[in-house]
Chains A and B, each alone.
Chain A
């Protein structure tokens, strides 16, 4: 049998009261049992007393009868009647009563002569024996009882003498007593029930008086004191039980009201507290009359209130933490965690409630350069301004998320591509109007925005929106773009989606797998002879048999900040190519290197290792300046070091980017490669073409060796040649080709086709 784990205080109180009542009942039963025993003892005593009383009464009756007999025997008139019985009946019927010898009509007297014969018969109803029993001794008293037709008579015979000397027997006297009436009338019984006294004597049977007690039956009279005692005791017990029951009931009610119910309420409150349902309503705040419980209640309520306050504070803090955990501390907008959560929810909601949704991805152009140039404090400030501007530009319910260093995102619901573009344009307008000049930043701070849209009927593609926006954003970053690109509309290739994804995968795989980066070599021709002076090594990624072009993966390199890793991979591949000996001796190789990589020891170490090929293949490093060089002195030092191992330093893409003049002044640059945008200006017969031409002439005059990139027409080539630019490259002169193809081409052309250097 399984025992209950715990009991309620009400059950305990009930059990206690029931136990108390049972105990009282047991005590009452014991008292009743004892009372019954006492009663039995008293009854026994009563019976004994009744027996003693009855025996005494009988004895008194016998004695009284005997006394009467003695008196009669001594009475002169008795003797007179025995001698002169003429007036015996007068004596018998009158004198014995008048004289007081017999005091009761229940007693009759008769006289017998010496022969025992009755002097004269009496009345019929009280007939006395005509003759004394023969067994009667002449000189002795004798008593006996006879049942005479239902009535028991007591007879007492006695001798009567002539004188006190008892010498002459005159005769006999006989007293007849109606036994029962005399016994019961004469006696006042206290213990004997007179109505139940009887003598077991058959009709006509004679009983000697000495055997009387053996035939006497009786019952004790109920003792009124005993009955009163029993009644009082019973009433007392009942009253005690009722009183105790009432007291127990009252105690239970009081206990319930004062203790159990408050404790129950406290217990319920505690349970409610544990379940977080505590409600300190006024009804529950009623005071408890037990001071200790009241103290507990107050303490509990105070504690609970404090707990609630603490809980509220914790909730507030949690909300704060939650907010903070989802808020970008720098810009105040939501962070990446919030983005991920909201995007997941937004994505699910969009699927359940079809609507047009748009995903906007923002990226600050050249933020890394700004950050490196003006310091992180100003970079942070720029980001704050951008965030503020974007928040202002977005709709009221739209959220802005900072998902990367300078990348922000938002997703718009119930929108159209046109509305999304409007939002993007508003964002750009506010960014353009922002006062970055107040921060001392003179470079333009731009924002590239990629937009991906999903119509209500194409929500199964909503998961691809971030990727599409990413592609669109890189599309927007491409030079010449309006910096806002809508995926599918502005991206030229419809399959860009897959490509972008493939390029990223290909890039990371290429960085991890040597050989996947394939170097294509584009010839750089010396002017005006147009012979190949050296080749520029241009990286391609061979991925699943397809060749991925730089414009596809370089933005990924830039966005992922993989410049150093990528440059190392390129240097390794160039080292491999050069080590393969496929290029004829004397062919110089120009290697593109980002400005950030120059300051990395791994790059410098790799360059120093690569410099061993300088004997057979003069090496030139083309420093791209699409990003700002912040550690100018350190870069200059490394470049000087590299120059000592015969590297030539070229400034790539001159005419675009940040501070090419400053680079020319501060860096040890040997060659300046004019960007295709500048070279194209040479073909124009206007002031811009004149400026570029004059600038190129001036550069040549101060000793820089100039290279014109992107020469695609004869007119441009002639112009380049006329300006005295030393080298030119472009599709007009030759497209980049793989090493094997280059080697094969060179082998086919013979010795004349060897490099000019």
Chain B
């Protein structure tokens, strides 16, 4: 009996010992946290970002994080606060959205900094879905030098439904200018109702396919894409558009937007392959 308990502790302890909750205050009274999965030294750290309104506990992200950690990569999987203290739940579409892409990017920057503060000199940004967009938005600004690579999974633009984007942007810009604080209820991404502040919605609405392709093309780091050919979330010719920017891209046959099921292994394999490609250049 004692021997059995000893073996069990040996098996469980390493994983527990290499997973911690990282927390930092993004804005006053709005702390945020992240899973910090410590991998093998010498391998780049992966900042793995969840999708739109999700948390790091979303299955695609959490599965991939464990897979990466299992293969020796240190993974930092934050949950964007979306201006909610210690957000732990997926934020409902109908909730009051007071966050903006700028806030998101700022938080990404802070987590990159946090990684750096923890000794990681080679950081690969991996994002799923809208997280890929937010990471690109971060990359489009002045990314930290430790960021060595970018992997976008199921990259998708900020969809606004049937609304005409320029008009919407103009309307939102007008509201912002006029300091109209009324919530704007405009479809965004998969949300049919998305009550948001005008500036917050405006920050997302500006990231259409073109801006996304441009950001991808202008990525300062090595960028890779993993897409599913059964992704119903993306526009009809999105994959073709992505091919045009000539960013290395793996299209997982049969995979949907979430790469779930057996495609999780394809996702991990492709991610690992890209990480291996990026690894030689990274150092810690």
Contact = CB atoms under 8 A, between A and B. Distances in A.
Most buried by A among B92, B96, B181: B96
Contact of A170 (B85, B91, B183): B85
A467 interface: no
A86 interface: yes
A84 B83 contact: yes
A164 B88 CA distance: 9
Interface in B58-100: 83-89, 91-92, 94-96, 98
A76 B96 contact: no
Given A90-B183, A90-B195, A170-B29, A83 B85 contact: yes
A413 interface: no
Contacts of B33: 163
A477 to B, nearest CB: 168
A193 interface: no
Interface in B78-129: 83-89, 91-92, 94-96, 98
Most buried by B among A75, A84, A86: A84
A99 B86 CA distance: 19
A162 B29 contact: yes
Interface in A3-45: none
B31 interface: yes
B85 A91 contact: no
B78 to A, nearest CB: 15
A74 to B, nearest CB: 8
Contacts of A626: none
Most buried by B among A81, A90, A170: A90
Interface in B157-179: none
Contacts of A164: 86, 88
A164 B23 CA distance: 13
A80 B96 contact: yes
B94 A84 contact: no
A80 B86 contact: no
Contact of A87 (B88, B91, B183): B183
Contacts of A190: none
Contacts of B85: 79-80, 83, 162-163, 168, 170
B96 A87 contact: yes
Interface string A66-109: 00000000011101110110110011000100110000000000
A75 B30 CA distance: 14
Contacts of B84: 76-77, 79-80, 83
A163 B86 contact: yes
A120 B188 CA distance: 29
Contacts of B183: 87, 90
A contact residues, range:
20 to 34
Interface in A381-395: none
A77 B29 contact: no
Contacts of B98: 80, 84, 86-87
A95 B96 contact: yes
Chain B interface mostly: loop
Contacts of B86: 79, 162-164
Contact of B30 (A77, A83, A86): A83
Given A75-B89, A86-B181, A170-B29, A80 B83 contact: yes
A209 to B, nearest CB: 29
Contacts of B91: 76-77
A98 B181 contact: no
B94 A98 contact: yes
A77 B96 contact: yes
B29 A76 contact: no
B182 to A, nearest CB: 9
A103 B20 CA distance: 37
Contact of B94 (A79, A81, A99): A99
A113 to B, nearest CB: 12
Contacts of A162: 29, 31, 85-86
Contacts of B87: 76
Interface string B137-166: 000000000000000000000000000000
B86 to A, nearest CB: 4
Nearest to A83: B29
A163 B31 contact: yes
A84 to B, nearest CB: 5
Interface string A341-379: 000000000000000000000000000000000000000
Nearest to A87: B96
A163 to B, nearest CB: 4
Contacts of B181: 86
B226 to A, nearest CB: 29
Contacts of B83: 80, 83-84
A50 B83 CA distance: 49
Nearest to B25: A162
A77 B95 contact: yes
A95 B29 contact: no
Interface in A324-338: none
Contacts of A98: 94
Nearest to B182: A87
Contacts of A91: 96
14 contacts: A76-B84, A76-B91, A79-B85, A80-B85, A80-B96, A81-B96, A83-B84, A83-B85, A90-B96, A162-B31, A162-B86, A163-B86, A168-B85, A170-B29
Q: Which 5 pairs between the two chains have the least Cβ-Cβ distance?
A: A163-B86, A87-B96, A80-B84, A76-B84, A162-B85
Interface of B: 29-31, 33, 83-89, 91-92, 94-96, 98, 181, 183, 195
Given A76-B84, A164-B86, 13 more contacts: A76-B89, A79-B84, A79-B86, A80-B95, A80-B98, A83-B30, A87-B98, A90-B96, A95-B95, A95-B96, A99-B95, A163-B86, A168-B85
